[in-house]
Amino acid sequence: MLQKTSLDQLFILDIETVPCVGCHDELNDMLRLLWEHKCHALRREKGWSSSRADVEEMPSHLEAASLFEQAGIYAEFGRVVCISVGCFYLDKQEEQWRFKVKSFADHDEKKMLQEFSTLLARKPNYLLCAHNGKEFDFPYLGRRLLINGLQLPPQLDIAGKKPWEIPHLDTMELWKFGDRKSFTSLALLAAMFGIPTPKDDISGADVARVYYSDNDLPRIVHYCQKDIITTARLLQRFRGEVPFGDNAVVYADEVGVVMRRV
Summarised one tens digit per residue, pLDDT across range 40-79 is 887 777 665 444 444 444 446 777 888 898 999 999 999 9
The DSSP secondary-structure symbol of 230 reads: H
The set of residues, in sequence order, having a beta carbon less than 8 Å from that of 74 and lying 6+ positions away, is 38
Task: Check: pTM over 0.85? Answer yes or no.
Answer: yes
Q: Which of 194-203, 212-221, 236-245 is the least confident region?
A: 194-203
Mean pLDDT, rounded, of the chain: 88
Q: Which are the contacts of 261, defined by CB distance < 8 A and separation ≥ 6? A: 247, 249, 250, 251
The alpha carbon of residue 22 and the mean position of all alpha carbons in its chain are separated, in whole angstroms, by 20
The architecture (CATH level 2) of 7-18+81-261 comes to 2-Layer Sandwich (3.30)
Half-sphere exposure of 182 (CA within 13 A, CB side): 7
Closest CA to 172 of 156, 188, 187, 183: 183
List the one residue out of 39, 29, 27, 48 whose CA is nearest residue 70: 39
User: Given this model, what pLDDT does residue 99 score?
Assistant: 96
Cα angle at 150 between 146 and 151, to 5 degrees? 90
Whose CA is closest to 210, among 220, 222, 199, 198?
Answer: 220
Q: What is the mean pLDDT of residues 80-103?
A: 92
**Cα–Cα nearest to 103, from 211, 15, 215:** 15
* pLDDT value at 198 more than 90: no
| Residue in 74, 156, 75, 80 with CA at minimum distance from that of residue 118 | 156
Is residue 243 a contact partner of residue 236, using CB atoms and an 8 Å limit? Answer: yes
Q: In this predicted structure, what is the pLDDT of residue 261?
A: 31
Is residue 183 classed exposed, middle or buried when 0-12, 13-18 and 19+ CB atoms within 10 A define those classes?
Answer: exposed
Neighbours of 70 (CB within 10 A): 16
Domain ranges of the chain: 7-18+81-261, 24-72
Helix (H, G, I), strand (E, B) or coil at 257: coil
The pLDDT score that the predictor gives to residue 48 is: 52
> Can you name the residues that pair with 18 across neighbouring β-strands?
79
Using one digit for the tens of pLDDT, what is the confidence trace for 133-184? 999 999 999 999 999 999 999 999 999 988 888 889 999 999 999 887 778 9
Structure confidence at residue 59 (pLDDT): 45
Question: Could you tell me which of 132, 156, 134 has the C-alpha nearest to residue 145?
Answer: 156
Residue 228 scores a pLDDT above 80: yes
Taking the CA atoms of residue 12, residue 152, residue 72 and residue 80 in that order, the dihedral angle to the nearest 10 degrees is: 70
Give the CA count within 13 Å in the CB-facing half-sphere of 233.
24
Q: What pLDDT is stored for residue 256 in this prediction? A: 34
Name the amino acid, one letter, at 166: I
**193 — pLDDT class (breaks 50, 70, 90):** very high
> Residue 79 carries which DSSP code?
E
CB 86 within 8 A of CB 102: yes
Q: SS3 of 104, please?
A: strand
